[in-house]
Structure 1
Amino acid sequence: MGCDGGTIPRRDELVRLKKKPEVKDKDSERLYRWRHCSLTQQKLQQPIVMCGLGRLYSKSNIIEQLLEKTPMPESCSHIKGLKDIKDLKLTANPSYSPEDDKNAPFICALIGLEMSGQFRFVALWTCGCVFSERALKQLKSNICNICQTPYSEQDVVILNGNEEDVDMMRTRMEARNARMKAAKKDKKLKVKTEIPESSTSTFVKPSTSKEPEEIKKEPKPSSSKLPMVANPSVIAARKREIITDMIGSDPNCKKAKKDYSVKNDPKATEVYKSIFTSHESEQTQNRAHWITYNPFYN
């Protein structure tokens, strides 16, 4: 049997036993749920959001999934738009570091408990504030102590709860959605009832200084005396004619006429005339004019 040398075999070495199922580490599973996105199973990144069932997501992952228009997994099938998620207002843990696996990245804003899964945490759907369930039980009023926003029992969402908590959150989510739909219908009915009342209001004519008899005596303009609207091209041609007439009559605008020449202008100097090609000095030279000089053509 190969047991020479004085070795004593054990029973599990000789008899095949059934393998026991692997036991999950509850602590590691708990930390994984609180530090990873429920949609992509990647590490949570700010901004962090929650759904109506209390699961945590990275907002960027939800937006990418909605833009791609791919069907959501069964666990996230209730998320159909950004209205089905809520941004969370989390309080950072000052003693947390990215390389530390013991401390949680967030804590309760009221009593300082770590948000690691050891303590139950809740969030309010109205404002998104997050604190521990122990702190919520100590609050006697239905007003958030962080941002002073009123809330009801249906707005309290348990984060990463068990199966019973998820069923309760589902009923609260359905009741909250029904309440929002009813509020929208009431707003539409109010708008429809206000429009006819404003349209049937009496119209008051503006008061005039003239008496009604004087108004009746004023002659109405006849259609024959109304000015005819001319063609735009005709108006432009008429403007050009007016400008040319003004140039001919104004002595300061004589240079704009076609028959004007610098050579025959008595007020122009010889230096000014020499610039132009009509000057006598330009008629005798063989090369190009100095203003339009080009070495390639000289």
Structure 2
Amino acid sequence: MGCDGGTIPKRHELVKGPKKVEKIDKNAELVARWYYCMLSQERLTKPIVACELGRLYNKDAVIEFLLDKSPDKPHADTAAHIKGIKSIIELNLSDNPAWAGGKGNTKGDKYDEQCAQFICPVVGLEMNGRHRFCVLRNCGCVFSERALKEIKTDVCHKCGAGFKETDIILLNGDKEEVEELRKRMEERRLKAKSEKKAKKPKAVESVSKPDQGEESPGSSQKEAEDTSFPRDKIDFVSTAKTQVDSQSSSSDAAAKSSSSCTKRPAPGSERKSEAYKSIFTSHNSAKRTKEQSSNWITHTAYYF
């Protein structure tokens, strides 16, 4: 608390007031947006790409993110809406002839980001964040918003490709502008999904229609042949076929019944001799009398 050696504490040293809100330096924020990749936080180098929300990335960093989408990576939330390589646009930028490649400030006597690497090819404004820039989604050419407003046309000023107002994407816009771009992105993706679903049944119908067309001429030819052939001959042929079929079926049934029945030997016409009959036990000679039968006391089968 003090008071040792004659010191007197003041009120601001004893009572802590509310913390002051830290203000972000606008120049530092512009440099972070326009000169560094939003995903890897490295300096932007060609090839540079932009997402459908207008954020700038290095193409290598986006490809690495698509190959490994682990949530543990830093700044992964800024690229969560990028689903594939088709979700990004490679920028066709115009180099600034006044840019020295970062080698001009060797003494450290001037601000590094005074000169931008790219400019607008129509108006000549530097792409340093102080001016609003747009990219055309179809061709990837980058222009300042002033150039697009002054020269109103549906053709790109650099490559001559056609575009619409919905194809213009504002780079590094405000929160409200980013929300509008997000709505456009969602509508565009829903439209693409609906078009894919509509194309699938059409492809199935196109495959089934030729098959139906091949069957129809055959049936018409058969009907024509039937009408050209006389009716009396048709009846005669049909009756002949039924008779032949019935005969063949009866012959098949007889063959099956004959094969299924057991073969029995035919009875002998000649009478057997007494010598032949005496072989069997049913003959009178094989039968024994009571005297010849075995006694119950003996163990032998026959006791005479």
Q: State the TM bucket, normalised to the shorter chain.
A: 0.5 to 0.7
In 2: Cα distance, 1:138 partner to 1:185 partner: 41
In 2: Cα distance, 1:94 partner to 1:35 partner: 17
CA RMSD of aligned residues (A): 3.1
Output one character per residue of 1:158-214: Cα deviation in whole Å (capped at 9) or x when no partner.
Answer: 10001111111111111222232233334434433332344455599xxxxxxxxxx
Q: Counterpart amino acid of 1:53?
A: L
Output one character per residue of 1:66-100: Cα deviation in whole Å (capped at 9) or x when no partner.
Answer: 21232372232111211211111111111112325
C-alpha distance 93-16 of structure 1, shift in aligned 2 (>3 A): farther
Preserved contact between residue 155 and residue 176 of structure 1 (Cα < 8 Å): no
Counterpart for residue 243 of structure 1 = none
Runs of 5+ in structure 2 lacking a partner?
5-9, 103-111, 218-304
Output one character per residue of 1:124-171: Cα deviation in whole Å (capped at 9) or x when no partner.
Answer: 111111101111112323222222222222211110001111111111
Counterpart for residue 126 of structure 2 = 114
C-alpha distance 185-145 of structure 1, shift in aligned 2 (>3 A): farther
Preserved contact between residue 154 and residue 175 of structure 1 (Cα < 8 Å): no
1:132 to 133, 144, 156: 144
Give the 5 Å matches for 1:44-83.
Answer: 44-71=44-71, 73-83=76-86
In 2: Cα distance, 1:27 partner to 1:12 partner: 36
Whether 1:195 aligns to 2:198 is no
Q: Counterpart amino acid of 2:86?
A: K
Of stretches 84-93 and 135-144 in structure 1, the one that deviates more from structure 2 is 135-144
In 2: Cα distance, 1:104 partner to 1:198 partner: 61
Of stretches 124-133 and 139-148 in structure 1, the one that deviates more from structure 2 is 139-148
- Other structure's SS at 1:86 match: strand
Give the 5 Å matches for 1:231-242.
Answer: none
Whether 1:156 aligns to 2:168 is yes
Give the 5 Å matches for 1:23-102.
Answer: 23-71=23-71, 73-99=76-102, 100-102=112-114
C-alpha distance 180-33 of structure 1, shift in aligned 2 (>3 A): same
Greater Rg by CA: 2
C-alpha distance 142-188 of structure 1, shift in aligned 2 (>3 A): farther
Q: Counterpart amino acid of 2:38?
A: S
Identical columns (%): 42
Higher relative contact order (CA 8 A, sep 6+): 2
- Other structure's SS at 2:114 match: coil
In 1: Cα distance, 2:130 partner to 2:14 partner: 42
Preserved contact between residue 48 and residue 58 of structure 1 (Cα < 8 Å): yes
In 2: Cα distance, 1:61 partner to 1:12 partner: 52
Counterpart for residue 177 of structure 1 = 189
C-alpha distance 39-14 of structure 1, shift in aligned 2 (>3 A): closer
Counterpart for residue 107 of structure 2 = none
Say how many residue pairs are matched. 199
In 1: Cα distance, 2:155 partner to 2:198 partner: 25
C-alpha distance 14-193 of structure 1, shift in aligned 2 (>3 A): closer
TM-score, reference length from structure 2: 0.58
TM-score, reference length from structure 1: 0.59
In 2: Cα distance, 1:12 partner to 1:92 partner: 58
Of stretches 42-51 and 189-198 in structure 1, the one that deviates more from structure 2 is 189-198
- Other structure's SS at 2:160 match: coil
